[in-house]
Structure 1
Amino acid sequence: MNLVREFKKNIEENNLLSTGDKVLLAVSGGADSLSMLDLFFRLKDYFAVDIALIHLDHQFRKESAQEAAFVEQKAEELGIDFYTKKVNLPEIINQENISAEAAARRERFDFFREIYFKYNFDLLALAHHQDDQAETVLLNLFRGSGLRGLSGIEKSLKLKGIKVIHPLLDFSKKEILKYCQDNNLKPRYDSSNKENIYSRNIIRNKILPIIEAEINPAVKDVIARNAKLIADEEQFLNKIAEKKYNNCLISSESDKLVLELKTLNNYDQVLKRRIFRIAYQQLKADLEDLYLEHILEIEKLLNDLTTGRGIDLPASIRVEISYEHLIFFKKDVIESEKISQKKLLELNKKNKFNSIYVLEAFIKARDNIDLNANSSQAFIDIEKVELPLYMRSRKKGDSFIPLGMQGKKKLKDIFIDQKVPKFKRDQIPIIVDSRGNIVWMSGFRIADDYKVTAETENVLVLKLKNNN
């Protein structure tokens, strides 16, 4: 095989490059990335692209500094820009109690992303090949990641805002090693690839060799071809699912989205599972760490339909049933809107409660006010209130006598009656006086004790506004 010719053909047939692209090549110094560098360098003028190298020294192995120096030397020899960084991976693993694979992947990609955006690159090129594809598909199979996982690595994809390409995906490790030998590239060898303490290495060094020896010597090629077929069908089904997702989407914001249950439950189970993935991806930007077990848990929610029930997904995303809706939201963002300490509500100014609401308070003569209140404003008899007023989030057991009622009612019951989603309840300002008595449940009712009467002379006007 003429790898240069096939590499060129692969890029053209899959539209991986455009004229003028700035391409950041992730180069470890191993055979795969060194071959990719050599191929790009040979063809950069043909494709009219600029290339640069990036390398992360994770200090995980004693030879990592030598590998970084090797890649830097290659960049100097070729006259190519080079970006590098050191991280203490063993320390990160110990401090955060995460796997070496997960830590390395995160640190590497965070660095790539930083340089990609800082220097305005158009593409990040990674040197995954056909053998990696087979390993990835098997890993995903064992993890229960569904059909999407069985479609393996994509040749071109968007990942956290970065356009990533895999130009070596159609070539085997054997072909890449031969290319290195034929072109005297002398790659570095990663000793950890032989250590069977990582899942991928176990598949590479134990499982695949047995399948090749006992079942099918071309198993990697077979897996790669099947992954391509599955990917094509995935793409087709996802187009249908995206249309159905939009049909049941009520609202979508950066930290939450709401789906209509009635419409959602009319869809086939296959489409619903894909819609769950789309919703998750809208909030997280990728599907990493979302597995079939999570999708099945969401399905259980839909079988129950009890308002307030929910489950936690990876990346601090939560899914809850809320009356006629299924809500996906970022827990950390939503929880940050809860105000743990009361805030002073000052007169004659805008008072920020959280990122969602602001409140205004001012005093007017009774005769100068139209008392036709709406849910976003309240009128209070100033003589009945112990100033100053404060804003806070709800507390457990909160209750008051709403306007026009005789007895006390819990805030919780009012929220339930009004079908306020559980995650929104902590975001709503509760106005209290200096004695701690509830004066106004913002957006709902004032307390009956503070209502304006015929004897009222001065009125405290409260206005609730969106903070935008």
Structure 2
Amino acid sequence: MLTQQILNTISKYNMFKLGDRVLVGVSGGPDSVALLLVLHSLKKELGLKLYVASLNHMFRKDAASDVEFVKKLAAKLKASFLAGKVNVSKLHDSRGGSKEDTARTVRYDFFLKAAKKFNVNKIALGHTRDDQAETVLMRLIYGAGITGLSGILPARKFEKYLVVRPLIEASRKDIELYLKDNKIKPRHDSTNSQDEYKRNKIRKHLIPIFEKNYNPGIKQALSRTAALLRDDRDLLEEVLLKPVFKKIIKTGKNNIVRLNLKELDKLHVALKKYVLRECIRRVNLKLVGIEYRHWRLIEAFIAKRKNNAAWHLPYGCRVRIKKGAVIFFNEGIKPQG
């Protein structure tokens, strides 16, 4: 049942093609273990070559055992394996922001390293329909627009790789049943039950209230909402945003992005936000740590039109006003002109 559902998702979103070299990110938990096992069972049918990567975030004393578990599983499946280890808590203390954002950034940096080592073209991750529901609800609670409420994308570009999520339409219950039927005992991360993290509180406390008192199918409903908004966002980007981006955004060497101020002024306020978002994405290749307050501050900064003024955004992105343009660039890069 789970295998067929995953096959349907893979086909629906055109996730793989014959000859793909796929890095599978595996923590040792139920979702990523099920993902690896299902892809292994389908690798001949789909024509895939699988590689495995596992990162120890050092949140728990027994986290090294999770990586060892994944290493043994990869060896059993005859898949090449890479382990990583980063003290995320220590890094978070020096960077600030949320611990979840720091962990995510570190994890994706590790996946990039592994992807380059194994020369893959796809990265497969184990996000599920439950993860999707939690993400949409969390973003709704803390505030988000159409892009944020589109949730976790089934497939998206990340640098030169395509990140795919074959479990995105599968429920956690189906995954647990699959592992039980196949007599697989995955690792369990105790931090997933701690109320320290927003996502955990939503999973443990808020969603059960919705299921009991309002809609037993709340997870499916939230996942559908994300899919509907994703379709709307895709249409908006294709018909309206891409032409605007092409007209007023110029990307140069070292991902230095220049934005024409006069053209920006002509845009509707909603379009301006999409343009600014795209500029930051082109510089940082991600939008981690960028919140609503940052958009308001950027707008206020640009409105002042102070020549040579500079402003800092999270993760090393800087903004400067110069000669009728807004320049976005990474810290350490000196834009010319």
Identify whether the pair has TM-score above 0.5, normalized to the shorter chain: yes
How many matched pairs?
336
Partner of 2:262: 262
Q: Does 1:138 pair with 2:112? A: no
Cα distance per residue 1:282-308 (max 9 Å; x no partner): 211222222222222233345444445
Residue 281 (structure 1) shift: 1.4
For 2:176 and 2:32, the matched residues in 1 are separated by: 11
Cα distance per residue 1:329-388 (max 9 Å; x no partner): 334312xx8xxxxxxxxxxxxxxxxxx7xxxxxxxxxxxxxxxxxxxxxxxxxxxxxxxx
Task: Specify every segment of 5 or more residues in structure 2 that has no aligned partner in the other structure, as ranges.
Answer: none
For 2:319 and 2:248, the matched residues in 1 are separated by: 16
Residue 100 (structure 1) shift: 3.8
Structure 1 pair 43–255 and aligned structure 2 pair: CA distance change class (3 A)? closer
Secondary structure at the counterpart of residue 238 of structure 1: helix
Cα distance per residue 1:421-457 (max 9 Å; x no partner): xxx5xxxxxxxxxxxxxxxxxxxxxxxxxxxxxxxxx
For residues 60-459 of structure 1, what are the structure 2 equivalents within 5 Å?
A: 60-94=59-93, 99-239=98-238, 240-249=240-249, 252-309=252-309, 311-334=311-334
Point out the more displaced range, 2-11 or 318-327. Answer: 318-327
For 2:258 and 2:301, the matched residues in 1 are separated by: 15
Identity among equivalent positions (%) equals 33
For 1:90 and 1:318, the matched residues in 2 are separated by: 25
AA aligned to 1:158 is: K
Which structure has more helix as a fraction of its residues? 2
Residue 20 (structure 1) shift: 0.7
Structure 1 pair 261–76 and aligned structure 2 pair: CA distance change class (3 A)? closer
Partner of 1:444: none
Secondary structure at the counterpart of residue 281 of structure 2: helix
Residue 121 (structure 1) shift: 0.8
For 2:64 and 2:195, the matched residues in 1 are separated by: 23
Secondary structure at the counterpart of residue 110 of structure 1: helix
Cα distance per residue 1:212-270 (max 9 Å; x no partner): 22221111111111111111111222231221122224674435332222222222222
Residue 39 (structure 1) shift: 0.8
Residue 322 (structure 1) shift: 3.6
Partner of 1:53: 52
Partner of 2:18: 19
For 2:97 and 2:306, the matched residues in 1 are separated by: 35
Structure 1 pair 121–211 and aligned structure 2 pair: CA distance change class (3 A)? same
Residue 102 (structure 1) shift: 3.4
Partner of 2:39: 40
Aligned partners of 2:255 and 2:282 also within 8 Å: no
For 1:297 and 1:89, the matched residues in 2 are separated by: 28
For 1:219 and 1:230, the matched residues in 2 are separated by: 16
Structure 1 pair 163–281 and aligned structure 2 pair: CA distance change class (3 A)? same
Alpha-carbon RMSD:
2.3
Cα distance per residue 1:312-338 (max 9 Å; x no partner): 32233333444533332334312xx8x
Partner of 2:28: 29
Residue 94 (structure 1) shift: 5.0
Secondary structure at the counterpart of residue 55 of structure 1: strand
Task: Specify every segment of 5 or more residues in structure 1 that has no aligned partner in the other structure, as ranges.
Answer: 338-355, 357-423, 425-468
Structure 1 pair 208–278 and aligned structure 2 pair: CA distance change class (3 A)? same
Cα distance per residue 1:136-178 (max 9 Å; x no partner): 1223334434221111111111123332110000011111111
AA aligned to 2:166 is: P
For 1:135 and 1:259, the matched residues in 2 are separated by: 35
AA aligned to 2:298 is: I
AA aligned to 1:231 is: R
AA aligned to 1:287 is: L
For 1:323 and 1:276, the matched residues in 2 are separated by: 18
Structure with max Cα Rg:
1
Which structure has more strand as a fraction of its residues? 1
AA aligned to 2:148 is: G
Aligned partners of 1:135 and 1:203 also within 8 Å: yes
TM-score norm. by structure 1 comes to 0.67
For 1:293 and 1:97, the matched residues in 2 are separated by: 16
Q: Which one has more relative contact order, counting CA pairs under 8 Å at least 6 apart?
A: 2
Cα distance per residue 1:399-424 (max 9 Å; x no partner): xxxxxxxxxxxxxxxxxxxxxxxxx5
For 1:94 and 1:44, the matched residues in 2 are separated by: 41
Secondary structure at the counterpart of residue 74 of structure 1: helix
Residue 85 (structure 1) shift: 2.7
For 2:264 and 2:96, the matched residues in 1 are separated by: 39
Aligned partners of 2:127 and 2:165 also within 8 Å: yes
Partner of 1:394: none
For 2:257 and 2:192, the matched residues in 1 are separated by: 42
Cα distance per residue 1:5-46 (max 9 Å; x no partner): 121121122110010111111111211111111111111000
For 1:66 and 1:248, the matched residues in 2 are separated by: 51
AA aligned to 1:298 is: I
For 2:231 and 2:283, the matched residues in 1 are separated by: 25
